[in-house]
A and B are shown apart, each in its own frame.
Chain A
């Protein structure tokens, strides 16, 4: 039994979109919880609602129904500026997450209260050379850019990181470096992370718990080892069998 407190939770979150004339249910009564220092993996195929859930958690979008709690207090409808005080997002498009016309230093300085000393310290922690700070995103590799995204998230002293398919655009060796970095940072800073990916193999090595989404519904949720060794839902079994086939 894990006695750590819930730092973030979502209660019966639902979201519908209007696509032309028909209504699409992106999320239906999805509940989740994230404990301090835990990595929760969210997996599912394209269109399963993973990204919608992240948008709702981060405050970019409002849920139609349900509630969101940070340390037990509701923050539903608080807006992205307020949620930015306790969570940060790392995007799939590492290059697109930095203004192409700004140097990395200027982009990192946008975090309120960030000092030059702190920037140097955190970029060092993320394994980046300080000379990269004077470069624009197009001069960095995909892996370096993603590390900078992580550095920016750390600068804000957020408790929670939302990672949206952050390794899908990286090559395998860079993927491994970024995942290793996340694991180290989680241990050192006691960070809580929501890791969204369609790569079940990666999620199973990194995450403490897994939530499987299909067509906006949570079909299975539990500890990683249990889900991997004994999946209950047919869809989870299908996802796992595809990983095994590839391997």
Chain B
């Protein structure tokens, strides 16, 4: 039992370390990148990977390695920001619905049911199209459906915690609903909702990259993995590296964050 727990702990630490490395790389993109990711070079169009251009160049002679590094910053930061905002809004709504119940709960949960009735990507494409694309538009489009999973999870945990005698004791002590939600409910439901947020990072990254791939997310020439794949797929047969590296970066990052989420979940379940 103890050795299993130790193994799981090791798994969490390894996954967290890789995730931290990815985040640090994204943050230090400017320092690490050997070339300007936006500088075009007519003499270096679609060059294969070399010592000067580690991942080769794209159709405009831009350094793919530098663009992948800069793309990491765009993709990871926008994903983490979107998950954080959805987590905040969804958890707050879920706690209010779970604690107060009544008509507010009925209305908000039916809205959540309604948004969940459609596939997330279909709604996101429709909304991003209405908002004329852009990274902000893509984030809003994904965020519209994303908060619901946090709200549902937070609500169900709030309903459980609300039944605990310490909540009744706090109410008898004269504490307001807002106080009880912030001081008692939130700390006691935070762990499962945070783990859920961690597992959402991979899905959100697919969403943002997917919308950029479809031309509804990041606008050129800004470096972003989805838009890089979209641009380079036209000449994939002559310069496959221009698609391969941003695609590999996307897959690795998604796998790492999903692995981290699963590892934390497994560790918690066996704690």
Bound Cα distance from A73 to B60, whole angstroms: 85
B164 and A96: CB pair below 8 A? yes
B238 to chain A, nearest CB (A): 59
B174 and A85: CB pair below 8 A? yes
- The stretch of B144-152, B165-173, B244-252 in contact with A is B165-173
- In chain A, what residue has the closest Cβ to B187? A101
A-contacting residues, B30-58, CB 8 Å:
none
B168 interface neighbour in A80, A85, A152, Cβ under 8 Å: A80
Q: Offer 18 A-B interface pairs, CB within 8 angstroms, sorted by A.
A: A58-B172, A80-B171, A81-B171, A81-B175, A83-B172, A84-B171, A85-B174, A87-B172, A89-B165, A96-B164, A96-B166, A97-B166, A97-B168, A98-B166, A99-B188, A101-B187, A112-B173, A152-B173
- Tell me if A111 counts as interface (CB < 8 A to partner B): yes
A110 interface neighbour in B164, B175, B187, Cβ under 8 Å: B175
A100 and B188: CB pair below 8 A? yes
B168 and A60: CB pair below 8 A? yes
- In chain B, what residue has the closest Cβ to A80? B171
Bound Cα distance from A152 to B172, whole angstroms: 11
B191 to chain A, nearest CB (A): 10
Bound Cα distance from A47 to B114, whole angstroms: 40
A89 and B166: CB pair below 8 A? no
Interface size range of chain A in the complex? 20 to 34
Q: Mark B171-213, 1 if CB is under 8 A from A, else 0.
A: 1111110000001100110000000000000000000000000
A91 interface neighbour in B169, B170, B173, B176, Cβ under 8 Å: B169
- Tell me if A220 counts as interface (CB < 8 A to partner B): no
Q: Mark A86-116, 1 if CB is under 8 A from B, else 0.
A: 0111010100111111000001001110000
Give the residues in chain B near A87, CB-CB below 8 Å.
Answer: 172
Bound Cα distance from A89 to B175, whole angstroms: 15
Give the residues in chain B near A107, CB-CB below 8 Å.
Answer: 166, 169
Given contacts A84-B172, A89-B165, 7 further A-B contacts (CB under 8 A): A60-B168, A89-B168, A89-B169, A97-B165, A112-B173, A152-B173, A156-B173
